[in-house]
Amino acid sequence: MKPKIVIFSTPTCSWCKKIKDYMKKNGFAYKDVDVSKDHKAFQDMVRKTNQEGVPQTWINNQPVIGFDKAKIDRLLGIK
């Protein structure tokens, strides 16, 4: 079963680019939400995590704050 992945990001965030590249490299599709343009998504993100920073990656409704490679690999089953 393919994981549901949503990445909350901004265009100027270098860590956001790295996480998106990492997902592509490992063959995972994701939905990218630009919170600099979508204020409602930004508010929802902050409400759920109490964090304003990006990237925030949600993998099957489990939040990953920042580029926490170990947690991302664990949630995606990457060895």
Q: Where are the domains of the chain?
A: 5-76
Give the C-alpha distances (Å, rounded to integers) separating 78 from 25, 43, 54, 74: 12, 31, 22, 6
Tokens for 16, please give them: 């956001």
Angle, helices 69-76 vs 14-25, to 10°: value is: 30
pLDDT in tens, the chain (79 residues): 799 999 999 999 999 999 999 999 999 999 999 999 999 999 999 999 999 999 999 999 999 999 999 999 999 999 7
Q: For position 1, what pLDDT does the model report?
A: 78
- Superfamily holding 5-76: Glutaredoxin (3.40.30.10)
